Each structure stands twice: as C-alpha cells, then as structure tokens.
Chains A and B, each alone.
Chain A
Amino acid sequence: MTSTTEQFADLSATTLLRFATAGSVDDGKSTLVGRLLHDSKSILTDTLEAVEAVSAQRGQDTPDLALLTDGLRAEREQGITIDVAYRYFATARRRFILADTPGHVQYTRNMVTGASTADLAVVLVDARNGVIEQTRRHAAVAALLRVPHVVLAVNKMDLVGYEEKVFAAIAEEFTAYASDLGVPEITAIPISALAGDNVVEPSAHMDWYGGPTVLEHLETVPVSHDLTACPARFPVQYVIRPQTAENPDYRGYAGQIASGVLRVGEAVTVLPSGRTSVIEGIDALGESVDIAWAPQSVTLRLKDDIDISRGDLIAPSANSPATTQDVEATVCHVADQPLSVGARVLIKHTTRTVKAIVKEIPSRLTLDDLSQHPNPGQLVANDIGRVVVRTAEPLALDSYADSRRTGSFLLIDPADGTTLAAGMVGESFASKAETTVQADEEGWDF
C-alpha cells in the first residue's frame, strides 16, 4: 500500500518520459521491466496474484516477473517477447510510457517502432557476454532514430561476482562505440534485475558504484523540449467549415503543431503551393489563444481565403522548408516483402500521401560493423539502407536531424496497404559532438 503523501505526489507529477527498452534474448529484459514495475509499486495486487499463480503452477518458487510483460499466448509459450508492448507507470517525480521492445534479431523493426517516439533507450547486456552484435545493433538503431539519451544496463552482475572491472570494461567499449555513432548522452549502470540491484533500490553489493539507479536516472533525466526550439511546422489534417447559421463563414485548418511556436499576426506560407497569408486566429480546442506550440492540436484561421486542404503544410514565411520531388533518406525495412529498385510505392509524410518510385538503393548497412554494401538491389525485412525516391508531387521535407516529425515518412505498398519501410530524411548518423564543426561526414553516410 502506498502512503498518502506518495499518492498526492503521484497526482501532481506532470512531466512525461517516453522510453524504450532493448536487449537480446535471455539478457533478462522482461525481468528488468518486471522488476522496475514491481519495485516501483506499479503492479497491482490482482495482477501480481495472477503471475504468482501461473508461476506456482509451473513449479517455480518465486514469481516469474517476465510473465508481467509477455502478454500474448505465443509469447508465454515460447518465453520470448514478440511484439512491442506499451506500459504506464508513475512515481512521485514523473509519469512514464515504456515501449517494451523485443530483442530478437528478427524483430529489429519493433525496436525501431519503440525508439521512434522515445526520449531515452535502455540497452541491456549480459555482464558475462559483454558487448555483442545485438548490443551494437541496438546502439545503432538508437543513434539512427536519434534517441537523445541512452542507458547501458549491464545486467547479471551477480553472476560475475559484482566485479567493478567487468562492468568498467563493458561500459568503456559500449561508450566508445555509441559515441562514434553520435549518441549524445550515455549512462552506464551495473545491475542485477533478478536480485534487484540498482534497478529501483541501490545495490548493497557494489560499493564501488556511485551513480544513480535505473529508476533514479529515469526520474531525473531532462525531457527534451527541442520541438519548440525548431522552426514552426503545421501539417493541415482537416478543414473545419461548419456552414451553420451561427458560423456561416468559419474556415479553420485543424492540425497538430509538429514543431515550433505559432503566433497570431505571423506571416505564413502554405506549401507546396507557396501562397502566403497571415494567422488571424488560433483556436486551441475551443478557446481562442494568441500563441500555441508543439505538440498542441489547434485550429488556425488565416486572413486570406486561399485554397488549403489536407496534406498542405503551413510554416512561417521567414523560415519555411524547401519542397522537393527527390527524397534521399535512410530507411528501415519493416515488411516481409522486399523493397526493390523500380518499385512503385506510396509515401506518407505528415498528413500527405503521394505516389513515388524507388529510383536507387545506393547502400545497405550492416549494423554489427557499420560496413556498407553498395547497390544491394533490394532491402528485405529488418534491413537498414539508403534510398533515393522520386515523388509524383513535391513534398515539404525537413531533415530528420532537425525534426523527427517532419523529417520522417512511411513507404506503403499501394496494392495491399502494407507498411514497407520507415524513412528518415537526410544524414543517417549524427557526427561526434567534437567534429560537428567541420562535419562533412561522408564516413557515416553509407
């Protein structure tokens, strides 16, 4: 039972951290997630009783915390996590949305899914095995998706005698690799998910470690508000025209601000047409406001009656993106059917869906050594590669490095609607912080 003070603290905790977990099969990821939920008192009695009953039925002495997270029949049968699950918990300091992603190689696309909306990624390694191919793959995916914070959780420290030098060697190797990929912040924590060391409670076995526990770090890491520092972008979702007696002339452009800040009186340009106007009013879900920012859903009214429909992008005239019909991007291929040069696809970018042709696949990346294979001809499930796509109509694109929202897109199979690939416009990996000044960075442009 939580105390009264904790309850009221819970109710006032207002910031939200979205994070994703990744680890190889048998690294103990489900146990870590179970431990995090269990020790932070986020598991309610009836749920825990169900887990205890199933564990006892299977002849286990202690509840198998992995059962808390493996929700599908097939997952429990095989003891592995197949699909991303989203979980919700809160502490006195913060609310969390956890994307619990599978670690198996064949489900790399699911880690991409989890990482696409994450502010932080926890990469798990087994202290006995150290950094393996899957660890490098997970670090690379986090870097590619530009997740701002990465935590390396070195698990099963109890099986290596809680030795500092084992942890230090793994932390050093991982930090060097991830920094090279441009991961801006890396925190390494030695843990035992099974025994509960340094997950929620500090470990009594590792005096040599002076850093935070996993939960402490999650509670205190700064949540980025970069969205509002970027130029404003407003993809139009829907045109609201009541044409009623009360509102005969109302014409509003509904959408969610993808990045930046919009103000009444600001001069704006509508893309791809290039027509200009001025923001006359902003309706924030029924209330008129002077200013609004990402990620608020609002409705804009403009001074001039110009032709605007779903798929258009409204941006400040002083800082609007260029439009192009030639898109160069990194894609993660997420479908079972391959993507080949010459394929006719649909590209879904913000609220706009247009026809496109895959003109080139210049390279495919091997994540374990980051080597590039030129002109592979096609990409198959879980491949990451560079593509050049020609679109039937111009798109107003930003670089993914500048905006996750307006720099990302989906490729869709027009025949059956399958999501084929997730795309990120522009350079793939960020360069090291020290070298950004003379960043030509052909090295990472595979």
Chain B
Amino acid sequence: MTATVAHVHEGTDAPYALSHLDALESEAVHIFREVAGEFEKPVILFSGGKDSIVMLHLALKAFAPAPVPFTLLHVDTGHNFPEVLDYRDRAVAEHGLRLHVASVQEYIDAGKLRERPDGVRNPLQTVPLTEAIQRLKFDAVFGGGRRDEEKARAKERVFSLRDEFSQWDPRRQRPELWQLYNGRHAPGEHVRVFPLSNWTELDVWQYIAREGIELPEIYFAHEREVFKRNGMWLTAGEWGGAKADETTETRLIRYRTVGDMSCTGAVDSDATTLDAVITEIAASRLTERGATRADDKMSEAAMEDRKREGYF
C-alpha cells in the first residue's frame, strides 16, 4: 500500500510506465512547484476535507525535506463539523504551518452579510474568501476543486485568472496548452490553481489509501443522530436542527464531502475502513455532490453562477 515510487517493469513493452496514481501525483507536484517558483504569496485553501488534505500531503512531498512554502486559509462558515476543525488544528500544528481564518460568522455579526432564510451558509463564503484574498494580498490560491465534480468545473483551467473582483469569466479563459501554465497577472488580480483538476473522487480515495493519509472520522461509518430535509440526512448542531415536523433518528452513516453542516448530507453506509469506502464509491451510482450537497441543487447553473462571483 505504500509503494510511493514507480518501479521499472522488466520485460514488458512499456519498461517505464507510470501507474495512473503516480502520473496524477507527479502532475500535481509539478503544479505546486510552478506556483512556488512564479508567485510571491500563494496560499492553500484548507477546509479539513479530503481534497484539501490530499493537497497538503502533495505539497509536503513536493518540497521535502524543506517545509511547505505556503500558508493555509480556511473559510469558516461557523457551521463546521467539530471533528473537522479539530483535524485542521492538529494538521497545522504538526507541520508547523500558518493558518489564516476568514469567518462567515464575523461578517454576519458585523452586519456585512445576512443569514439566508434556509440557514444555508455555503453561498455566503464568497465574500469573506475574496476579501481575505485581497486584504492579505495572496496572488495564487490553491483549491481542491476537481473537474469530475460538476459540469461547470469541467470547464475550469488548472491556472484560472481572477480579476480584481475575484470573478471567473468562462468565456475569457486563457487557453492552456501542454504543461505551460501562464500565471501572469496584474496587481490586485490573482490566480486560482487546481492541482487536483485531473483527479476523480475514486483517485483521491485510492491515493489516500496508498499513502496511508489520516482523515477526520466523519468520512467513515459511524452512528449519528440525523434528520431528513430535502432528501438528505443532516446532523443537528449549533446551526440548528430538526423542526417540529422533522424527526430525528440514529442511523449508521458517513460523509462523502465535508462542508457546511447545514447543507452537507450524510449517506447510509457501513464502510468503516478505507478499503470498504473505496468499494462503496466504485459501486455508487450517485455523484459525490449530487448525493450530499443541497446548494448545487438550487438551479441548473448554481455552481457556474457562484464561481463567476468568486466562489471555488
């Protein structure tokens, strides 16, 4: 499981083949190093979710034995899973990293953002995120977005230029040829960088298994009190809980994605190990976001519209 280096396959037609995971890893590391070589102040968006955990792992490998030359930024919706925040803080301490936090709750408390009637905070992340990028003058922002997640993300470049308002314009993207990434930008603009662009959900899980990467417990099956809303199992928390007409029950569940508790649904599962999770995902007939994200169901172009405004 820990064969991190490809080996020469003697006697085959392709003596120097790379496995697809080695090829994806090599490409992602190349992207991290390009950014380190060309930008002044890059940052990794880190939520404590599996994609950002894989990004951090790749960054650690890319610059070893030197430390990762980037800081981390977490956009805290105020409705995070406590297990995930705990994981975030342990990862930061273990690797001697610096973490910036942009808080949606602070924006609401200061009257700069208004809570939505449905309590969903994912769309509210855009303003604290883009203002943190401008205030802290980040010129490259790594995101864990993958093109297999959603049809608007399938159109995303690896290096994606954002204007001074952090907006994405899908019709004015730079063509991206070979592995020659153009990161030139004017002051005030920044580049979003997606090293996991070519990875699928299954690739991420297979890589986590191969590398023995630790994850927050909520990714594995556990018993939890949940209630059903809009066809999804939600966990009660500080953000709220079941209404009078919604009933709470204890179920064996796990999460496929980590996000705001108010709109991230759990799936029924008895997968308690990495191997079991991989088997379950390979057999699933639902996409990752389709199964677990309420905010993508708001309209047919929900993701595109949010990305245009500066969301990941």
Contact = CB atoms under 8 A, between A and B. Distances in A.
B141 to A, nearest CB: 17
A113 B301 CA distance: 25
B5 A289 contact: yes
Interface residues of B, number: 70
Contacts of B15: 225, 228
A2 B283 contact: yes
Contact of B304 (A72, A109, A227): A72
Interface stretch (A10-18, A156-164, A179-187, A269-277): A10-18
B283 A7 contact: yes
Contact of B36 (A2, A97, A238, A287): A238
B198 to A, nearest CB: 6
B286 A44 contact: yes
Nearest to B279: A7
B16 interface: yes
A37 B206 CA distance: 22
Contacts of A223: 14
A110 interface: yes
Interface stretch (A80-88, A198-206, A438-446): A80-88
Contacts of A46: 286-287, 290-291
Interface of A: 1-2, 4, 7-8, 10-11, 14-16, 44-47, 50, 54, 68-74, 76, 82-88, 90, 95, 97, 109-110, 112-113, 116-117, 222-223, 225, 227-228, 237-238, 240-242, 244, 246-247, 250, 254-256, 261, 283-287, 289, 291, 293-297, 310, 334, 346, 348, 351, 404-405, 408-410, 412, 416-419, 422
7 contacts: A1-B285, A71-B150, A74-B170, A117-B179, A225-B16, A250-B66, A404-B178
Interface in B164-182: 170-171, 173-180, 182
B20 A71 contact: no
Interface in B1-58: 4-6, 8, 13-20, 22-23, 25-27, 29-30, 33-34, 36-37
Interface in B104-128: none
B182 A348 contact: yes
Given A15-B17, A422-B177, A82 B171 contact: yes
A90 B13 CA distance: 22
Given A10-B282, A15-B17, A285-B25, A112 B34 contact: no
A86 B199 CA distance: 11
A401 to B, nearest CB: 15
B178 A408 contact: yes
A346 to B, nearest CB: 8
Given A14-B19, A73-B301, A416-B186, A83 B170 contact: yes
Contact of B154 (A50, A86, A334): A86
B287 to A, nearest CB: 5
Shortest Cβ-Cβ A-B pairs, 9 listed: A417-B184, A71-B151, A46-B290, A242-B66, A297-B29, A228-B16, A85-B154, A237-B33, A116-B177
Interface string B44-79: 000000000000000001111111000000000000
B255 to A, nearest CB: 17
Given A72-B170, A88-B147, A310 B37 contact: yes
Contact of A71 (B6, B283, B304): B304
A247 B65 contact: yes
Contact of B198 (A1, A88, A416, A417): A88
Contacts of A412: 182, 184
B33 A297 contact: yes
A400 to B, nearest CB: 10
A299 to B, nearest CB: 8
A16 B23 contact: yes
B88 to A, nearest CB: 23
Contacts of A110: 175
Nearest to B182: A419
Given A15-B17, A15-B20, A409-B180, A44 B285 contact: yes
Contact of B65 (A14, A84, A242): A242
B26 A73 contact: no
B25 to A, nearest CB: 7
Contact of B180 (A4, A70, A84, A408): A408
A57 B291 CA distance: 23
Contacts of B173: 83
Given A242-B65, A244-B66, 16 more contacts: A10-B282, A46-B291, A50-B300, A71-B154, A72-B301, A83-B155, A86-B154, A88-B198, A110-B175, A116-B177, A222-B13, A240-B64, A254-B63, A297-B25, A334-B177, A422-B175
B37 A293 contact: no
A75 B298 CA distance: 19
Interface in B154-205: 154-155, 161, 170-171, 173-180, 182, 184-186, 197-198, 200, 202
A285 B184 contact: no
Contacts of B8: 291
Contacts of B25: 285, 297
Contacts of A11: 202, 206, 278, 282
Nearest to B67: A242
B230 interface: no
A240 B33 CA distance: 10
B250 interface: no
Kindly name the residue among B8, B26, B66, B176 whose own CB sees the greatest number of chain A CB atoms within 10 A: B66
Contact of A72 (B155, B177, B186, B284): B155
Nearest to A291: B8
Nearest to A258: B179
A86 B155 CA distance: 7
A16 B185 CA distance: 33
B182 A295 contact: no
Contacts of B176: 113
A287 to B, nearest CB: 5
Given A237-B33, A237-B37, A87 B154 contact: yes
Contacts of A82: 170-171
Contacts of A346: 184
Given A44-B287, A109-B175, A84 B200 contact: no
A241 B61 CA distance: 14
A256 B65 contact: no
Contacts of B132: none
A113 B279 CA distance: 35
A383 B105 CA distance: 52
B148 interface: yes
A86 B178 contact: no
B66 to A, nearest CB: 4
